[in-house]
Amino acid sequence: MAYVITEKCLGEQYAQCVAACPVECMYPGNYKNEPFMVIDPELCISCGACQPQCPVLAIVDSEDAAPDWAKVNKELAPQFKNNPKVTPRPANDPPKKPGHKLGG
């Protein structure tokens, strides 16, 4: 089981989670022409360190909690893996997309 990044990250990419991950398995990229992040399910150890770092609560704690997004994370991880790291957005930066809000 791995943690999963969901729709709330799409268009946001705060990337606050990256520094918290002990196994460096969170990668940035573009999905549907919007900035996004994924978790590599092959490497994630389900430690939970990333989850509280996300300002919009985009991370869920299992593949079962968001099976469609789990599939997206899994498919994109090999493509995003070698992308250059991105500079995190401030955690209090307002979300860019309507429907997303700080604190979930």
**Residues found near ligand SF4 in the complex (CB under 6 A):** 3, 20-21, 23, 25-26, 39, 44-50
- At its nearest, how many Å lie between ligand SF4 and the CB of residue 21? 3
| Closer Cβ to ligand SF4, 47 or 94, answer by number | 47
- At its nearest, how many Å lie between ligand SF4 and the CB of residue 92? 21
Instruction: From residue 89, give the alpha-carbon distance in Å to each of 13, 56, 64, 70.
Output: 8, 12, 28, 24
Beta strand 4-5 pairing with 26-31 = unpaired
- At its nearest, how many Å lie between ligand SF4 and the CB of residue 98? 27
Q: Which residues pair with 23 in a beta bridge?
A: none
